[in-house]
Amino acid sequence: MKTFYNHLHAQHHGKVEMFRGALVPCFEVPARADHVVAELQRRQLGDVLEPQAFDDAALAAIHSPRYLNFLATAWEQWVALDAAHAAKDILPSVWPTRTFRTDIEPDNFAAKVGLYSFDAGTPFTRGTWVAARAGAHCALGAAERIVQGDRAAFALSRPPGHHAGADFFGGYCFLNNAALAAQHLRDAGLERVAILDVDYHHGNGTQAIFYDRPDVFFASVHGDPRTEYPFYLGHADESGAGAGQGANLNLPLPRGTDYATWAQALETALAAIGRFGPDALVVSLGVDTFEGDPISGFALATDDYLRIGERLHRAGLPTVFVFEGGYAVDAVGINVVNVLQAFA
């Protein structure tokens, strides 16, 4: 299995995030990806490659032009306001909510940041755009390997992606790598693609991007949004809209869920994917379902990730794996690579 590794990921390194009413050190740190690549190399699980370059038009297939322009220019705008900002990260402080207009981009930078974000836990840093763009290229490169006939490929990048929508960031995510991979597969001629999100947190951005489309099926097993971030999407009654009705499946589970219960939900998701009949599968591979994760609430053990990989292998689909969450940093590498090794 080829891994496309974002060698530029550490350029995105937030200082603090808002968590439970306080500014705290970020949970999403460069060491997450470093542990995964080290474990891949230790087990010699295929080639670890730098991503090839893709035209930014591939990003515009998922993300709006004005949002991409904001991401590309936000840091320069921030520092232009005050040179001292170069030592600080960007965090939003205001947001448009119900009845507010979002069609007009404000001139005020703070308002602009709020327009394109949904939380105060996702710092934008000097290197965020560089890292996120390179990470998107990892996802596109992994998808291209499937187009070329590989059984599986892995996009190893951070920042993660599944909370990013067509025109918003949040949940540590700026560009939606899973969505970009799925769209690349579609653009290459695959008629149907499924996305399976196994991160603890619902992939609200991915759902929003494909919610009215019949060609991309989205299934997610995650913490119940009544109590778990990102809260406002991920309920079981969200099944798609318009032409996409029936192409969205949410399987929310309560805090404390163990592997046996979680695996039943995985079976339900895979059965629905099987009925959809996709030509390929994209897996948003978050391992914050781990029992030791500091910001999540499931109880999966390290060996359970071997069983997940085995089960995904039995699904029999060409598969793009995309690295998402997992914040028990010392265990992230082992848990991710357990999935990949068992699949391979």
Active site residues: 163
Rounded Cα distance, 281 and 90, in Å: 35
Rounded Cα distance, 319 and 224, in Å: 26
Reference 88, options 121, 123, 112; nearest CA is 123
Phi, psi of 202 (to 5 degrees): -60, 140
Please, which residues have CB within 8 angstroms of residue 44's CB and are 6 or more apart in sequence? none
DSSP 241-253: -GGGTTSEEEEEE
Rounded Cα distance, 324 and 175, in Å: 12
Reference 219, options 185, 184, 153, 266; nearest CA is 266
